[in-house]
A = this chain, B = another copy of it.
């Protein structure tokens, strides 16, 4: 396993939802920030790999297992480590814990290095990986097999300025907000996510006309984002009825 990095954080008001629970989109953004801080602490900051190699880190998949989402004002610890990597793919674990050490949720993230100019995946650069002390593995991990969407609802989606980040494309966090926004408010009012599989296949640019196809049956919702150029992302969210 890799070198462990920890970061303590207090959940601010502006990152919580109507139930005072941290919003998933913000939680993933925070996790990314913490992995960036680890990189910085190891002398291989995002800025350095961009300046010296023209590369950026891009997340291609998340798997989240959620026991409880942190709430407004709660002090939490984000613990992360790069666990392993293969020729093109890097794996990183995150764990969110209470200050007392109780585990709240786990995230397994898959990253690739992308050439900023060509927007194509770039082979792992050994020098950039070594400081994380992750293990090299020959085989890529198997991707999650998403079930087919059956009789989905389809809604058009327009990318807006607020969705774009400094990489010039839609920020990873926006996807989860989009999935949530099309689910019925009464459903969101008494459910919270327990398990999430989310895959990013193709980046989304500012001028992209998207369609969100989704279904929500029993305690599982399925989501697909497509445009004229194909499938951009898909997700499965398992929900747990709330005990509010």
Q: Chain A residues in contact with chain B, CB under 8 A?
A: 12-14, 16-20, 23, 25-26, 29-30, 32-33, 36, 46-47, 72-73, 160-162, 164-166, 168, 171, 173, 177, 180-181, 183, 185, 188, 206-207
A-B contact pairs, 18 of them (CB 8 A): A12-B33, A13-B29, A13-B32, A13-B165, A14-B26, A14-B29, A16-B166, A17-B161, A17-B165, A18-B164, A18-B165, A19-B166, A160-B180, A161-B177, A161-B181, A161-B188, A162-B180, A162-B181
Contacts of A181 in B (CB 8 A): 160-162
| From B23, B166, B177, B185, contact of A20 by CB (8 A) | B166
Q: Closest 3 CB pairs between A and B?
A: A14-B29, A160-B181, A162-B177
Contacts of A173 in B (CB 8 A): 14
Residue of B nearest to A20 (CB): B166
CA gap between A6 and B123 in the complex, in Å:
45
| From B12, B17, B171, B188, contact of A14 by CB (8 A) | B171
Complex contact B17–A166 (CB within 8 A): yes
CA gap between A193 and B166 in the complex, in Å:
18
Residue of B nearest to A17 (CB): B164
